[in-house]
Amino acid sequence: MRVLSTVLLVLGAVGCVLGTEVICYWASWTSYRTGHGKVTVDDLDPTKCTIYIYAFATLDERTLTMQPFDIHLDIDQRGYERFVALKERNPRLRVLLALGGYNDSGPKYSRMLASRERRNKFVRRAVALLRQYGFDGLDLDYEYPTAADKPHFAKLVAELKRAFRPYDMWLSTATPATRERIDEGFDVPAIASEIDMIHVMAYDFHGSWESTADHHSPLLPRASDNGRGFDVETTVHHWLRRGAPAAKLALGVPLYGRSWTVPGPDKRPSVAAGTGPGRAGPYSREPGTLTYLEICEKIHDGWNAVQDPSGRAGPHAFSGDQWVGFDDPSTAARKTLFALSLGLGGMMVWDVGSEDVRDVCGGGPWPMLTAINAYLELAGSATAVSPTQRPAVTARPTQVTTVVNTGAGAGRFTCPRPNGLYPDPYSCRRFFFCQNGKAESTACPANTGWDSQIGACNWLYNIDCQD
């Protein structure tokens, strides 16, 4: 099927591009799932990511300090120890412990943040816990700081980083995607000056809490959003405008879809009328959400999968009254190239326990991470994205016509927008990588060509390319 057979670009093992982080959360509760959906620490591939994050530790309600969330899994079954041991198979890997998550956040975080004494106690306990189990750092996942928390959260980041420096520990934070949440709770310049990486959770723009089925992580703005900014591009540019350095932003890609029950005949995104969440999947068992593995299994079982003809969002799939919008490997690839075109510091996925780890669907194991790494590998060989050429965050330049003298795509090309990917009018085996108004003609990998419908390279048998 087209939606699942789009090119992963590099056959066999691929590595991460030096200087670009691939950040992978592992939700520890996926080890309690059954069948193909069960993903334990032992199933993780430490070569697919540069940073692995164990989710989650908890903030103790009484002491307001960081504690293991699941003593049985984390400690008794040596979850922390086995997770840190992933570094034995990849010595360059960082392993972090994440604190919080949606279900652990709330007023207790505000209480901890508001007092310098309580923050200091939290910092001391965090350093001790991380060092006790050998973690390389901490990921803060407080969803989300309030307006009252805003100055105190920035102070906590600075205090943590100060305590981490003697041990060379990493500090990151997971952050919201909507402009209102960003502005309410994050002093971006203050945080960015101390933090190592900001993980932009550029998903969940839509969900079954709404009455219309829609893709929850569109890459580009769409008319149906009425200017609300519920898309990846708007979110990333908002972070940049607020003062976040591009090199400290990691773009989040969801390895799950949001689903609805849609009894009517119209299944188009932003049009289909939903009556509630879609039915739970056999592994995640959460109404309104399906993992990538659950979705690809359903497509193999006969669900209809449809790519967004505008190329602004990922595909959706439906069967009967069930509808789900999700990212596939081609969507992940396009988002990766988008991130690289802006000089972002990396990609992030939530979470690897939702991947097709065992090649159940026939697209190879780890298809989403393989796509991300493959496009990083492709881009890493192009001069347009060398680290020294990352653009500064400035006002958008005017269109620039660039003379390109690279292979079959030699000629003059005007970037329609300063940053992005565009078909090469001279060759269907190439595409233009525009960065800060400068165009670089780049070859698609062997046996692939540019597919304008999905905005990425695709297998030749899927497209009309006669070069």
Q: Which of 247-256, 286-295, 416-425 has the lowest mean pLDDT?
A: 416-425
pLDDT at position 380 is 61
| Model pLDDT for residues 151-209, shown as the tens digit of each residue | 999 999 999 999 999 999 999 999 999 999 999 999 999 999 999 999 999 999 999 99
| Model pLDDT for residues 216-254, shown as the tens digit of each residue | 999 999 988 888 999 999 999 999 999 999 999 999 999
What single-letter DSSP state applies at residue 212? B
pLDDT at position 224 is 87
| Model pLDDT for residues 28-49, shown as the tens digit of each residue | 999 999 999 999 999 999 999 9
Task: Supply the residues annotated as catalytic.
Answer: 143
- Residue 23's SS3 state is strand
Element spanning 451, H or E: strand 448-451
Q: Identify the structural domains of the chain with CATH numbers, from first to last.
A: 17-255+327-380 (3.20.20.80), 394-462 (2.170.140)
pLDDT at position 35 is 97
- Residue 33's SS3 state is coil
pLDDT at position 19 is 57
Classify burial at 466, counting beta carbons within 10 Å of its beta carbon; exposed 0-12, middle 13-18, buried 19 or more. exposed
Opening angle at CA 39, ends 36 and 40, nearest 5: 140
Neighbours of 76 (CB within 10 A): 10
- pLDDT (mean) for 317-329: 97
- pLDDT (mean) for 117-144: 99
Q: How confident is the model at residue 464 (pLDDT cuts 50, 70, 90)?
A: confident
Taken in order 33, 38, 41, 44, the sign of the CA dihedral is negative
Q: Which of 76-90, 418-432, 444-458 has the lowest mean pLDDT?
A: 444-458
Question: 181: which 2 tokens?
Answer: 């949440």
Q: How confident is the model at residue 7 (pLDDT cuts 50, 70, 90)?
A: very low
